[in-house]
Amino acid sequence: MTEDLIKEQPKKVYGLPKALPVCQIIVGIIVIITNEVLYQLDAPFFLFVGIGTTIIGVLNYRLQVVRVYDQYSEIKLAPLASPWLVKNNNIVSVTAEPKRLTIVVNEKGKEVTRKLALSAFKKEQRSELVEHYTSIAG
């Protein structure tokens, strides 16, 4: 059963706006260049900050935060974070606030609250996400 879910193609994919990772990449490169010009590798902290920011920007560029399938959703908030698997029939309630979507899910007999920052998505994607999860919760 799990293998069938993994092979399925998503109906809809929601990612970060491309401006955010591009800004992270640009800031990282500027920090690296500034470190090279001003400090000439005497301050390795800034070099590591620049490299780290650039790597995070590259990883965020292709990040698919929410993937919606027929029977479940997969939510991944960060490139190196493990995804949350939210089955549609396990959703207990959904609360939509202006900046946050709160999904209460029944996992192994316990209610778990999952919070999703709506500010990370484009405006049209925010309303689609809220509509999708509120329609499932009923």
pLDDT tens sequence across 29-51: 998 888 878 776 667 788 888 99
Number of domains in the chain: 2
Out of 34-48, 53-67, 68-82, 93-107, least confident range: 34-48
The parent domain of residue 57 ranges over 17-61
Q: Are residues 47 and 73 in the same domain?
A: no
Indicate if 78 and 117 belong to the same structural domain. yes
Provide the 3-class DSSP secondary structure of residue 116.
strand
Token pair 């919606």 in the structure block, residue: 68
Q: What is the pLDDT of residue 55?
A: 93
Q: Please indicate, yes or no, whether residues 91 and 129 belong to a single structural domain of this protein.
A: yes
CB under 8 A, 24+ apart: contacts of 2-9? 5/69, 5/71, 5/72, 8/69, 8/70
Note whether 70 and 102 are same-domain residues.
yes
* pTM to 2 decimal places: 0.74
